């Protein structure tokens, strides 16, 4: 699989970005940048999944957006700017990594690249806004179903390796609520879950269990 944002660019621009970047692994649970830290790199995932999380002073966290092969993790571009969110790898994969300064220089040279990055950023802002409403108004079952659908679409797989504890961190729920939501979806025949492995059994049933703000890419 390739990165869809990169794939939307001309071959010349893609070649240039590959030349100045490096292909790196996205190891599960790796922290790409912490909120407030200097943001030095931008990642274009080829596969895998990156979670953008807000973490409170008390240590509680919730995912505000997820990123896969559809886009880039590490915006805005200005090198050295403080990261607004903590970026953590939730599903392992690979990515093209560029320094933020180098990518900004390429955007200055290639307006089409700049426009593509702005479109991606605008889309992310919409996802963050939808997610905020979802956290407030929808049930744990709906939110879990929504997340599984979106994650499955991004990694192009019906199987997701995540523990209930990890899902709780992502969804901002305690383990008990995650367990109840997961069991409800299993009883409905939508998913199976065992030993940190979740499999979507019936996508249509999972869509029915999800909320109207479902986000699939």
Q: Options 1.10.580.10, 2.60.40.1190, 1.10.10.10, 1.20.210.10; which CATH number does 139-209 get?
A: 1.10.10.10
pLDDT value at residue 78: 57
How many Cβ atoms are within 10 Å of 187's Cβ, its own excluded? 9
Q: Tokens in use for 131?
A: 């997610």
Whole-angstrom distance, CA of residue 25 vs CA of residue 156:
18
pLDDT value at residue 131: 83
How many Cβ atoms are within 10 Å of 79's Cβ, its own excluded? 16
Residue 157: pLDDT band with limits 50, 70, 90: very high
pTM (predicted TM-score):
0.91
Q: What is the mean pLDDT of the chain?
A: 91
Whole-angstrom distance, CA of residue 164 vs CA of residue 168:
6
Q: Yes or no: is domain 4-134 CATH 3.40.50.970?
A: no
Residue 184: pLDDT band with limits 50, 70, 90: very high
Residues 52-81: tens digit of each pLDDT: 999 888 888 899 999 999 999 987 655 567
| Exposed/middle/buried for residue 81 (C-beta within 10 Å: 0-12, 13-18, 19+) | middle
Enumerate the domain spans of the chain. 4-134, 139-209
In terms of Cα–Cα distance, which of 116, 140, 113, 162 is closest to 211? 140
Whole-angstrom distance, CA of residue 201 vs CA of residue 122:
33
């Amino acid at each position: 699989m390739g990165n869809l944002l990169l794939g939307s660019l001309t071959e010349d621009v893609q070649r240039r970005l590959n030349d100045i970047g490096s292909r790196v692994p996205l190891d599960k649970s790796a922290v790409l940048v912490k909120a407030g830290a200097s943001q030095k790199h931008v990642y274009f995932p080829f596969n895998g999944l990156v979670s953008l999380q807000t973490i409170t002073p008390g240590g509680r966290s919730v995912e505000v957006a997820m990123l896969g092969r559809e886009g880039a993790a590490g915006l805005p571009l200005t090198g050295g700017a403080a990261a607004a969110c903590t970026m953590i790898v939730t599903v392992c994969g690979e990515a093209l990594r560029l320094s933020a300064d180098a990518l900004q220089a390429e955007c200055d040279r290639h307006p089409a690249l700049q426009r593509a990055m702005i479109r991606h950023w605008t889309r992310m802002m919409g996802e963050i806004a939808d997610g905020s409403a979802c956290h407030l108004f929808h049930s744990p079952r709906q939110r879990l179903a929504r997340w599984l659908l979106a994650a499955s679409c991004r990694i192009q797989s019906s199987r997701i390796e995540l523990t209930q504890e990890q899902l709780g961190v992502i969804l901002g729920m305690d383990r008990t609520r995650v367990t109840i939501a997961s069991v409800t979806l299993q009883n409905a025949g939508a998913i199976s879950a065992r030993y940190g492995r979740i499999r979507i059994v019936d996508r249509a049933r999972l869509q029915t269990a999800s909320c109207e703000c479902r986000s699939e890419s």
